Amino acid sequence: MSLAVISVAALVLALAVSCTSTVNVGVLAIVLAWVVGVYFGGLSVAQVVSGFPTSLFLTLVGVTLLFAQAQVNGTLDRIAQRTVGLCRGHAGIIPIMFFFLTAGLASIGPGNIAAAALVAPTGMAVASRYGISLFLMAIMIGNGASAGALSPLAPTGIIVDGIMPTIGLPDAEWRMYFNNFFAHAVVAFGGYFLLGGWKLFVRREAGIDPHADGAGAAPGGLAVVPDAFEMRHWLTLGVIAALLVGVIGFDLNVGMGAFAGAVVLTLGRAADEAQAMRAMPWRVIVMVTGVTVLIALLERTGGMDLFVDFLARLATPRSVTAVAAFFTGLISIYSSTSGVVLPAFLPTIPGLIERLGGGDLMAVASAMNVGAHLVDVSPLSTTGALCLAGAPLAADNRALFNKLLAWGLSMTLVGAVMCWVFFGVL
């Protein structure tokens, strides 16, 4: 048995165990990467550990620390109250608002990862406080972030736009962006309403009562009296706003900026750092980064090449959009969409079409982009991980992890059918 097959088997084992036991899949993935890499592959421990996603780890820690401070000092709670007020008591509108907020933010420059990092903590706090499914909110935020990913101003869009001219598609950036946005909007709103989001529209509340004696949920759980903002809350909002401006306007690294903001809040005594540290989702952080170590080994041992070979063998001119979307989505669940999947697959399109004897460049490229991004709500992807990390400590993170994983896996099939219809049949 080849090392590539063994590494793929290790990944399948880790995912199977994660769904049937309480063991942290990140810890298990690290152990499996060590065993396969060192004892089967002859690699050193240092080579195996080199797959640890340092940048992702720092981004998750920095962002979750800053928003943990905003949570423990009551700022997120106050934002949540006023967010519902902006929606005039319509619970069903709240997740929709967060979809467009995240999509807009991702489109104007920061990109999907930064947008999810900035919006997910607040959105998940709002959902938790007002009885909205965390799963539905994660779907809306995650798809909103991915909907804006291919903007020519965003990092992933810049990467894709740099590849397009080399495969014969110059000046295709805005068409690619709108194809991707439309597909994610269809999936997000389709999933939202099919999975029960429509029920939230019957929970219309009277809104905020300015004459009530104190904060608390009204009958039905939506209408609350907003707590007043104090100096520590204004300082927290100022730090978050500064982070937004820095990320959007000055290309600030969202993780490093979040660390700096956390220091400011600690020195300003706006939040208890020790309490915030305890509130951070360390289990989720270990879960995501540990799995990434095993994924890096999979790429190193050639396990990824097994999927690429299948692509050419299974596709036909009529089914190539479905096959391309399915396999890019499948690999993107466990690998970086912008850093690995798209740079690896997009350049193969001309040769693939030539080998198949026909096909449309734009259709296949759109299918690969959409298929790779639709699965990013999976907790094994950064966007899904940020949504999961933003869930309150009282939430059942294991159940949410499994739901998001099932959603991400199902998107490989949904994306294949959608891309076949949109970019093949139509």
Q: What is the pLDDT of residues 163-200, one digit of tens each?
A: 899 889 988 889 999 999 999 999 999 999 999 898 88
Q: What pLDDT score does 203 carry?
A: 63
Q: Where residue 80 falls among pLDDT bands split at 50, 70, 90? A: low
% of the chain exceeding 70 in pLDDT: 90
Side chain identity, residue 313: R
| pLDDT reported for residue 208 | 35
Question: What does the CA dihedral 245, 251, 256, 262 come to, rounded to 10 degrees?
Answer: 0
**pTM listed for this prediction:** 0.74
Averaged pLDDT for residues 351-373: 89
Task: Give the pLDDT score at 89.
Answer: 60
pLDDT, residue 19, reads 64
Comparing 24-33, 94-103, 278-287, the range with the smallest average pLDDT is 278-287
User: Does the structure show a pLDDT above 80 at 24?
Assistant: yes
3-state secondary structure (DSSP) of residue 77: helix
So what's the pLDDT on residue 223? Answer: 41
Please check the confidence at residue 350 and state whether its pLDDT lies above 90. no
**Higher pLDDT pick, 224 / 13:** 13
Judge whether residue 266 has pLDDT over 80. Answer: yes
Per-residue pLDDT at 307: 60
Q: With 90 as the cut, is the pLDDT of residue 75 above it?
A: no
What's the confidence (pLDDT) of residue 109? 66
Helix (H) or strand (E) holding 295: helix 282-301
265 close to 271: Cβ distance less than 8 angstroms: yes
CA atoms within 13 A on the CB side of 163: 25
Rounded average pLDDT over 272-296: 87
- What is the pLDDT, as a whole number, of residue 204? 53
- Higher pLDDT among residues 264 and 391, named by residue: 264
Return the minimum-mean-pLDDT range out of 40-44, 62-66, 266-270. Answer: 62-66
Report, as an integer, the average pLDDT of 67-79.
Answer: 85
Alpha-carbon gap, residue 389 to 380, rounded angstroms: 12
Mean pLDDT of the chain: 85
Residue whose pair of structure tokens reads 């269809």 in the numeric block: 186
Nearest to 190 by CA among 116, 140, 119: 140
Q: Model confidence over 82-138: pLDDT tens digits?
A: 766 677 767 888 899 999 989 988 887 678 988 898 888 888 988 887 789 999 999
- Token pair of 261, please? 């903001």
371-379 average pLDDT score: 94
More confident residue, 2 or 223: 2
Question: Using CA atoms, how far apart are residues 317 and 115, in angstroms rounded to an integer?
Answer: 36
Mean pLDDT of 366-394: 90
Q: Which residues pair with 224 in a beta bridge?
A: 217
